Amino acid sequence: MEGFKQRRKNVPGTKPHVGILGAGLAGLRCADLLLQHGFQVTIIEGRNRIGGRLYQERLGNGHLVDMGPNWIHGTDDNPMLDLAKQTGTAVGTWDVTSYVFNESGTLLPVPEGEALATMVWDIIQEAFVHSNKSSADIDAQTSLLDFFKERVVEKIPESEDNFQKKRETVLQMSEMWGTFIGSPVGQQSLKFFWLEECIEGENLFCAGTYEKILQVVAKPALSDATIKYDSVADKISYRIDPNDEVRVQLKSGQTLAFDELVVTCPLGWLKQNLTAFDPPLPSMLTKAIGSIGYGCLEKVYISFPRAFWLPAEGDGRRVQGFAQWIAPSYHAENPQGWNQELVELASIAPDVAHPTLLFYIYGEQSEYLTAQVAEIETKEKQDAFLVDFFKPYYSRLPQYSEDSADCQPVCCLATKWVRDELAGNGSYCNFQVGLSNGDEDIKAMRHGLPEHGLWLAGEHTAPFVALGTATGAYWSGESVGKRITEAYGMPKQKDSLDATA
């Protein structure tokens, strides 16, 4: 590999030409590193914009919201947090109080909800420890839910009053894990649960949105790379002979040739487009792509004139931060009894707070709701459908009154990644029951086929502590950029515009 790349480098008056499929965080960060070292870079982007799944839209009331990542996972040596500070992007967290609504829609006493939520997170932490320590001995079919069922019996003995109901409630509350991975807790592999661990430190909500962070990461590419928008790859021909180029045929019929190609397309896209690679990818790579799970996490924002759930201090009950409705038997349009999670955005950071509820949905509920909305012709009717669907939840928040103007939604906005082909009809990688070699599968994708001029990047190829995160996507692009520059022996040409380089 090193030999033929050194030969290419020595051709007078030429720059190695690297193609990058996808202008998301991974592709943009990779482009930055390559441009710093004097490469010619062309980014092929299927959309008419940069960012990929890192994308913002405005609510009807003017507030900007993230349609993709909302969080910065971990605060210890996290470049996303560094970029947030650099750009003055507001981040924060809420009080840790847990608000839990039971099957009848009644808000549990806060101390009770807090105790049960603490137990849920204690079991999750114990599962991480167990998975890290005993992964090799855990059956591939064992789920995180199975682990919960074992632990809850130990934590709530029969000697406790109402022990059966408490156990049932904890198991119901454990379903909130689905909002972290985009799939039900019963599908979460216990054997590879350790791959879901994140960077140490707090999980911070990106209250100011990722907008300014994206602008900084994208600036080098927007300035010095060629970006081909509305260009969807149809066929990818990687190098067989050292003298070959890597070629990308677009759906428009145009063919582009490169010395190297970095594919940052989402894992879901790779799963659905394996036949685009010519020749077919080696079995080790196809197995890896097929084995790692892919979630479908969606978001629904509903805004109000005022945050009625946050009364003046000492003036009634409040819900601040997170809320969870478990097994809502009162919701006529939710026959499956899907749990519901939300975070409220009125108390996260004063400068960017707004009276909005953010509902997270995943799995079957994502597929159901996005399919229902897709059948509705107008945006006005789509919004009315969503407001009606979520009303059984927000109408149970403290201080809600049907007669109050403050309690009438003024606008809403919903994602539909599960219906987005370029997103791979979903969101982020995850690790599901049945997985037998999850860590090796990640390593195989992370390695790619460099000897054939084909490299893979994206959140599904990130370091283990950042899989499925914006930080992971950023790091993966950075890693591939460094590997390519090292292989070509290209000296750095200029300073990065990114302080975390």
- What are the contacts of 155-162 at 24+ separation with CB within 8 A? 155/119, 155/122, 155/123, 156/119
Neighbour-count burial of 268, counting CB atoms closer than 10 A to its CB (0-12 exposed, 13-18 middle, 19+ buried): buried
Q: Rounded to whole angstroms, what are the CA distances from 178 to 111, 123, 148, 185, 296?
A: 24, 15, 14, 6, 10
What is the mean pLDDT of the segment spanning 364-383? 96
Q: Which amino acid is at 342?
A: L
Check residue 495 and give its pLDDT.
42
Whether residue 7 is predicted with pLDDT greater than 60 in this model: the reply is no
d(CA 214, CA 80): 10
Q: Among 25-39, 185-199, 305-319, 484-498, whose mean pLDDT is lowest?
A: 484-498
Whether residue 393 is predicted with pLDDT greater than 80 in this model: the reply is yes
SS (H, E, C) 363-398: HHHHHHHHHHHHCCCCHHHHHHHHHHHHHHHHCCCC
What is the mean pLDDT of the segment spanning 232-250? 96
Q: Among 87-101, 216-230, 265-279, whose mean pLDDT is lowest?
A: 87-101
Label residue 6 by pLDDT band (50, 70, 90). Answer: very low
Label residue 3 by pLDDT band (50, 70, 90). Answer: very low
User: What 8-state DSSP symbol labels residue 353?
Assistant: -
Whether residue 184 is predicted with pLDDT greater than 50 in this model: the reply is yes
The pTM of the whole model exceeds 0.75: yes
Check residue 10 and give its pLDDT.
44
What is the mean pLDDT of the segment spanning 196-225? 97
Check residue 159 and give its pLDDT.
95
12 C-beta neighbours (distance < 10 Å), count:
4
- The predicted-structure confidence for 150-170, as pLDDT tens digits, reads as follows 999 999 999 999 999 999 999
Check residue 317 and give its pLDDT.
84
Label residue 501 by pLDDT band (50, 70, 90). Answer: very low
- The predicted-structure confidence for 375-387, as pLDDT tens digits, reads as follows 999 999 999 999 9
Check residue 314 and give its pLDDT.
64
Label residue 2 by pLDDT band (50, 70, 90). Answer: very low
Q: Rounded to whole angstroms, what are the CA distances from 240 to 3, 9, 424?
A: 15, 19, 27
Check residue 461 and give its pLDDT.
98
Whether residue 494 is predicted with pLDDT greater than 70 in this model: the reply is no
Question: How does DSSP assign 266-328, residue by residue?
Answer: -HHHHHHTGGGEESPPPHHHHHHHHHSEE--EEEEEEE-SS-TTSPSTTSS----SEEEE-S-
- Are 105 and 328 spatial neighbours (Cβ–Cβ below 8 Å)? yes
What is the mean pLDDT of the segment spanning 497-501? 34
What is the mean pLDDT of the segment spanning 195-214? 96
What is the mean pLDDT of the segment spanning 100-122? 94
Q: Among 10-14, 43-47, 276-280, 350-354, whose mean pLDDT is lowest?
A: 10-14
What is the mean pLDDT of the segment spanning 353-358? 97
Q: Rounded to whole angstroms, what are the CA distances from 305 to 60, 354, 357?
A: 12, 9, 12
d(CA 96, CA 339): 20
Backbone angles phi, psi at 195, to 5 degrees: -75, -10
